[in-house]
Amino acid sequence: MPPPVESQNLTESSIVPKPPLFVRAFASGLFSGYSPFASGTVGSLVGLMFYFVPGFEHPYVIMPAAFFVFLAGIKASQSMENFYGHDPSEVTIDEVLGMWMSLWLLPKSIAIAVTGFILFRIFDVVKPFPAKKFDALKGGAGIMLDDLIAAAYTNIILHALLLFPFLRDFLTAGNP
């Protein structure tokens, strides 16, 4: 029996090399993508951990971080997809970014974060239009963009919920 091949993707004459450790660490959301179950959920939790760093929610912090993660995430996700196959579960940097954008410009509170987490995970799994179209694309951009669509749906719903005073009071109670 031949030895196992490290790459699932074979080109005509060569094996796709395993991405470097720093690419795997970044693209997998600090290795959360290697979780044996629900790697997207674990990656979303990593995004929440960063979000709860004091001051991270401020637009002048989160937007440059999100911009960098989006651009670097496209490149790193592409590298991971070349090795692991289409939209691999090992890639969770898209979930990290998705959580940040789900909570963008919202009051920082545990209730909003939990509600955002649940909504984002639902939208990430269901992939409402046009997320499913982006998910079908090959490459790093497709990997990153479908989660940004899920995050946009989440963010819009959370902003809408805050328009109702009783929900606003509940969701913003006990801000950290």
pLDDT, one tens digit per residue, over 17-72 is 899 999 999 999 999 999 999 999 999 999 999 999 999 999 999 999 999 999 99
Three-state SS letters, the chain: CCCCCCCCCECCCCECCCCCHHHHHHHCCCCHHHCCCCHHHHHHHHHHHHHCCCCCCCHHHHHHHHHHHHHHHHHHHHHHHHHHCCCCCCCCHHHHHHHHHHCCCCCCCHHHHHHHHHHHHHHHHHCCCCHHHHHHCCCHHHHHHHHHHHHHHHHHHHHHHCCCHHHHHHHHCCCC
Query: Does residue 59 belong to any structural domain of this protein?
Result: yes
Query: Does residue 50 belong to any structural domain of this protein?
Result: yes
* pLDDT computed for residue 45 by the predictor: 97
Query: Does residue 29 belong to any structural domain of this protein?
Result: no
Query: Does residue 31 belong to any structural domain of this protein?
Result: no
pLDDT digits (tens, 9 = 90+) for 124-169: 999 888 877 877 778 899 999 999 999 999 999 999 999 999 898 8
Alpha-carbon distance of 128 to 119, in angstroms, equals 12
pLDDT digits (tens, 9 = 90+) for 79-128: 999 999 888 999 999 999 999 999 999 999 999 999 999 999 999 999 88
User: How many domains is the chain partitioned into structurally?
Assistant: 1
Query: Does residue 4 belong to any structural domain of this protein?
Result: no
Query: Does residue 22 belong to any structural domain of this protein?
Result: no
Residue 78's domain comprises 39-172
Query: Does residue 138 belong to any structural domain of this protein?
Result: yes
Q: How confident is the model at residue 12 (pLDDT cuts 50, 70, 90)?
A: very low
Q: How confident is the model at residue 6 (pLDDT cuts 50, 70, 90)?
A: low
